Structure 1
Amino acid sequence: MRLVLATHNAGKAPEIAALLDGNYEIVTAGELNLPEPAETESTFAGNAMLKARHAAALSGLVALADDSGLSVAALDGAPGIFSARWAGPQKDFAAAIAKVEQRLEDSRSEDRSAWFTSALAVAWPGDDGAPGPCVVVEGRVDGDLVFPPRGDRGFGYDPIFIPRGRDLTYGEMERADKEADSHRTRAFARLKAALID
């Protein structure tokens, strides 16, 4: 089955492909030159649904979308749904990480607790312009932030996030170790339960 992955983020594609166990032929929205929709929703789940429905409508394929991000307790949950936007149009996550660190210093809080959220949405193409069915689930992993960043694996905010109960940042972990219990892995388990089990 051919599946369009509703992302232009090159880092997400191999991680999601691995979680799908090679069971689908995956093409990304970027590879299809689909325009990115404006993420106008106020939640991860809302934005995932918006992106999946947009890609399904434009491609005519079943679409899978992920909306994920880092939320920091001392920053009232920021950057949250704006995690990618903090990296700017160039997707400069080193700058985004520096922004998180600066905001934490400005807050004068000692609290370094944070969490990653992944919302996954699967949308089917609709008929006659109406949206098709859509299923949305979420996964979350709690942890703590560390500065300076550690590790050059993963992507995004991975080098500053240590999941609870672990000693390494996501940026230091081998992909298999991260995927064993990441926010995206938890979301995929829920998605499988919703769609198959």
Structure 2
Amino acid sequence: MSLEIVLATHNAHKVSEFQRIIGGRMPEVTVLPYDGPEPIEDGTSFIENAFVKARAAAAHTGRIALADDSGIGVDVMGGAPGIFSARWSGSSLNGENNVRLLLDQMSDIRRPNRGAFFHCTIALVVPTNIVAGGHEFEATGIWRGSLAYEPRGANGFGYDPVFEPDGFEVTAAELAPEVKNEHSHRARAFELLLPELERIHAEL
């Protein structure tokens, strides 16, 4: 039995990445883009914002919904940009400006003090029209690494060009998509989510 899940994002890159991650483990699952209104992400944590988006998508579509809230954190900045990663340089959601501002802020900091990490929390919401009483679940993945001095690579999006994962000598944007999808913060979060998704699928 096939299963369609709406991903609460208007970001086509995320939809493609989730489809590759999920499809590689559950080929029967199709990830659909969300075409509803953008909810106000007024949470103060990744978990809160992930559920804001997933609940909105589930309510709007009546489908099982996934949402991720993710960002980059820099150790010497106390984990910032964190939940403000997408709007670090302002409300325009300009990825290149976000990256440039972060690099400028870290320009005087040299290795080994450029430790950084990607954080991803995935929220799963099953609406009441599918399961009586509804159901929610969340999982979090962390991908450790360091901040590069300059952007490198054409793959990925967001802060990928300036994130060098531990164990690699390249940035996340220089990794082949299949390699990134084995190691990334989203892949790690999904590994924790997978048993729950398989259980729900088996019960439908």
TM-score higher than 0.5? yes
Q: In structure 2, what is the equivalent of residue 13 of structure 1?
A: 15
Spell out, residue by residue over 1:152-173, the C-alpha distance to the aligned partner (whole angstroms, 9 max, x if none).
1100000000111111101111
TM-score (norm 1): 0.90
TM superposition shift of 1:3 = 1.3
* 1:162/1:170 CA distance change after superposition, 3 Å: same
Aligned to 2:106: 104
Identity level (%): 39
Equivalent residue, structure 1, for 2:116: 114
1:72 corresponds, among 71, 74, 77, to 74
**Structure 2 CA distance for aligned equivalents of residues 148 and 46 of structure 1:** 32
Which residue identity is paired with 2:32? V
Decide whether the 8 Å contact of 1:150 with 1:160 is kept in 2. Answer: yes
SS in 2 for 1:137: strand
Distance 1:97 1:138 in 2: 23
| Contact kept in structure 1, 2:18 and 2:31, CA below 8 Å | no
2:40 is aligned with 1:38? yes
2:187 equivalent in structure 1: 185
RMSD of aligned Cα (Å): 1.8
Cα deviation digits, residues 159-193 of structure 1 (max 9, x gap): 00011111110111110111111111110100013
Tell me by how many angstroms 1:42 deviates. Answer: 1.3
The 2-side partners of 1:184 and 1:13 are apart by 12
Deviation sequence 1:44-80 (CA, Å, 0-9, x none): 1111111111110111111011111100112111110
Q: Is the 8 A contact 1:53 1:131 kept in 2?
A: no
- After TM superposition, the structure 1 = structure 2 runs for residues 139-178 of structure 1, keeping only pairs within 5 Å, are 139-178=141-180
Secondary structure (helix, strand or coil) at the match of 2:173 reads coil
- How many residue pairs get aligned? The number is 190
Q: TM-score, normalised by structure 2?
A: 0.87
Shift of 1:90: 4.4
Shift in Å at residue 89 of structure 1? 4.8
Distance 1:86 1:155 in 2: 15
2:20 partner amino acid: A
Instruction: Check whether the contact 2:87–2:94 (CA below 8 A) recurs between aligned residues.
Output: no
Equivalent position SS for 2:123: strand
| 2:32 corresponds to | 27
CA contact 1:140–1:186 (8 Å) conserved in 2: yes
CA shift, 1:118, in A, is 0.8
The CA deviation at 1:24 is 2.2
Q: Which runs of 5+ in 2 are unaligned?
A: 200-204
* Residue equivalent to 2:61: 59
Query: SS at the partner of 2:12?
Result: coil
Amino acid of the structure 1 residue aligned with 2:56: H
Cα deviation for residue 87 of structure 1 reads: 5.4
Aligned counterparts of 2:28 and 2:92: Cα–Cα separation in 1:
32
